[in-house]
Structure 1
């Protein structure tokens, strides 16, 4: 037997025993073995009398709020008597010890922050913060256009049917009560800026920022604006397939997975925290910092499995996004992200608890393989470095292969496919290929593009 989430050893009865019992009561319950050392070995000289247990119970009850009444029994371990003090998980949490609150984490007691105390209380009452009244705001502070768009979106999703009478509909969803509005209604439909920001940035290194933007608005707007910003700062290639030469956009990251990351940050953040949601875009990774730790006792280890139970910090906000069709069933976001990145062999989904919050992200594990480059660069088959004749340099060979696989491609598309190389470099390489009578331009200046010159396609084989 070892110390763990539910067991603690103490050599004697003291305030540290009561602290641990309060932590057990705020978690899943547990037992303190009094009269044992840290290794679980009984102490030879430990003794207790007939009235000892009742004295302990009284002291525990008096020093905890609400008062804990534990079960105390005698047990013989390795021929020695020890006392076992047991408590169950308390129904209404949190329980305090001398005005402080603790929770059992692993084999130690963790003192709760003010936000964690509030979360634990709401969980025990099966309530969520976003269902409480927004002080100083009424329905007059909501944007009617945003509400009507939401109602239309819900009805289009087919998951629920709303009447179109916005007051009745919002009351049915418990977002308002007469003229009183909830925190959720304010965040979803505010007619002005809220107190919460989403901060995005494009970084070259952790200390070198290239561009940044602060978003503030209704949550539905923030999600769309954040996606537009991200898309504008990641690479996109074009793959041409079929006889119709239809172009397919291939993004550096799967957009559905990126959207899940943004939705997770907005829906599940701790709105009692003053810290902003932060999304950082690097050359080979994207990360999202979400204020507030994991909710409802969920652990990082559980999230690594697809069968974890969902816990929702902001129930009304999550329900609104669900009814609007933006999320699937609660708790399935991580499953969908793993599914979306399967087509990106060296990409991995990362997440971890951090001080003050939780971080999720997508990143490339190592230098991109040819398989990744083929996908990101528009499916350039046959290899970019070999089999090209005519004495061309590496850069010209690569550009020539791009033109061959994408007939009619324009200069801006060539630049994107080649990793956003400088415009002057692309123009210079195109010029050299045209001088050597390998590539030609067809069509108008506005709509035309580059082609392998008739009779020259063999140069790339």
Structure 2
């Protein structure tokens, strides 16, 4: 037996026991065994009187706010009586001990920051900061034209269209209420600069040498396009000649993945923090930094493996972006980003918690391929495809990509070229069909 995220050992009852119980109530619950050493072995000199447990329970109740009442019982370990004090996760958080707040992380207690205290309180009521009314904002501070633009995004390719006027739309989405304008509504549809959403953009030659910079304070929907346009301005673009009348553009980075990163930044940013978001573009990589670390119960490993439940820091902003069809599915963005870079033949992005926020770093190839090299590479790939298809007419695109060591997208592009040149034909459906070299 050992200490973990749900178990704590104490040799005697003290304020430290209450601190641990509070930490457990603010996380997933747990128990404190009193009368054992650090290894969980019973202490010979420890005794429990007739009123001991009840006195401890009363002390816990009186020193916590909201008051918690642990389940207390005597258990036997190695033939010796010890006390077990157990608490469940408390429904209304956070619970404090002498005005201080704690959470359980692995086998130790950590004091909560002001931001963590606020977040826990909001989560207790299934709410978030952006859903609260801000008395500084009124309907007059909003742009109804921007609301109409939002409605147009919602209605794109949808059978059931939104036909309401802008104010009715905001009311139905609970972005404005009888008592006023929510923080989310202001960030999304403000008619002037939004300083609380400031983002600093820069193009760097080195860490200390900057070529171009831009500060943007747009509303959140406009901010997405502002950032993408700045990135496009400062990254390279090449062309791939595939035999088609029009050359294919290839940016230094997959733009759809860059857009996904930017949207994640905007939706999940901690807007209560004084720091700004930033995008730093270097010759061979880009750093996207955002105030607001990952939630404490989600690790980087969880994030990359997809083994986590998506938690929107700003529920109203996230829901509005989803209605505008800018978010496909909660929690699936990281996977799409990774797949896009893999298909592009680039190194997987680096995701990391750092300082008071979260950073994504994306990397490009050492050099962009020239048009001539791209054309030759395409020809070699086409030759390999024809050879492999001749040997195995039922081979799949994924198998071709794995054998030739290029992306699925490259295989699909070359097959399209071969089909247009009447060198290759698909017989039958995608499943059950086969390739025929002409």
TM-score range, shorter chain: 0.7 to 0.9
CA distance in 2, matches of 1:63, 1:5: 23
For structure 1, which segment, 8-17 or 355-364, has the greater mean C-alpha deviation from structure 2 after superposition?
355-364
- Against the structure 1 CA distance between its residues 143 and 2, is the aligned structure 2 distance closer, same or farther, given a 3 Å change threshold? same
Pair member with larger Rg: 1
Written as runs of structure 1 = structure 2, the 5 A alignment for 1:67-146 is: 67-146=67-146
SS in 2 for 1:44: coil
When the two structures are aligned, how many residues end up with a matched partner? 377
1:354 match? 354
CA distance in 2, matches of 1:346, 1:220: 28
Tell me the C-alpha RMSD between the 2 structures: 2.1
Say if 2:21 is the partner of 1:31: no
Deviation per residue, 1:349-386 (Å, 9 max, x gap)? 2112222122222235xx74xxx854998725359xxx
Which of 373, 377, 381 pairs up with 2:376? 381
Written as runs of structure 1 = structure 2, the 5 A alignment for 1:275-314 is: 275-295=275-295, 297-314=297-314
Deviation at 1:150, TM superposition (A): 0.7
CA distance in 2, matches of 1:183, 1:257: 28
Say if 2:64 is the partner of 1:64: yes
Contact 2:252–2:368 under 8 Å retained in 1: no
Say if 2:166 is the partner of 1:166: yes
Contact 2:309–2:331 under 8 Å retained in 1: yes
CA distance in 2, matches of 1:31, 1:316: 36
Written as runs of structure 1 = structure 2, the 5 A alignment for 1:403-422 is: none
- Against the structure 1 CA distance between its residues 299 and 193, is the aligned structure 2 distance closer, same or farther, given a 3 Å change threshold? same
For structure 1, which segment, 176-185 or 144-153, has the greater mean C-alpha deviation from structure 2 after superposition?
176-185
Deviation at 1:215, TM superposition (A): 0.8
Deviation at 1:39, TM superposition (A): 2.3
Deviation per residue, 1:186-232 (Å, 9 max, x gap)? 00110111232011122233333332211101101111000111111
SS in 1 for 2:136: strand
Written as runs of structure 1 = structure 2, the 5 A alignment for 1:435-454 is: none
- Against the structure 1 CA distance between its residues 112 and 160, is the aligned structure 2 distance closer, same or farther, given a 3 Å change threshold? farther
Contact 1:8–1:32 under 8 Å retained in 2: yes
Deviation at 1:43, TM superposition (A): 1.9
- Against the structure 1 CA distance between its residues 130 and 50, is the aligned structure 2 distance closer, same or farther, given a 3 Å change threshold? same
Give the TM-score taking structure 1 as reference length: 0.78
- Against the structure 1 CA distance between its residues 159 and 332, is the aligned structure 2 distance closer, same or farther, given a 3 Å change threshold? farther
CA distance in 1, matches of 2:209, 2:219: 30
Deviation at 1:346, TM superposition (A): 4.2
Give the TM-score taking structure 2 as reference length: 0.82
- Against the structure 1 CA distance between its residues 179 and 133, is the aligned structure 2 distance closer, same or farther, given a 3 Å change threshold? closer
- Against the structure 1 CA distance between its residues 143 and 42, is the aligned structure 2 distance closer, same or farther, given a 3 Å change threshold? same
Say if 2:251 is the partner of 1:251: yes
Contact 1:250–1:375 under 8 Å retained in 2: no
CA distance in 2, matches of 1:375, 1:38: 64
2:227 match? 226
Deviation at 1:335, TM superposition (A): 1.3
The unaligned stretches of length 5 or more in structure 1 are 384-461
Deviation per residue, 1:393-447 (Å, 9 max, x gap)? xxxxxxxxxxxxxxxxxxxxxxxxxxxxxxxxxxxxxxxxxxxxxxxxxxxxxxx
Deviation per residue, 1:34-67 (Å, 9 max, x gap)? 1222222222222221111111111111111001
Contact 1:198–1:276 under 8 Å retained in 2: yes
Say if 2:234 is the partner of 1:239: no
CA distance in 2, matches of 1:72, 1:301: 37
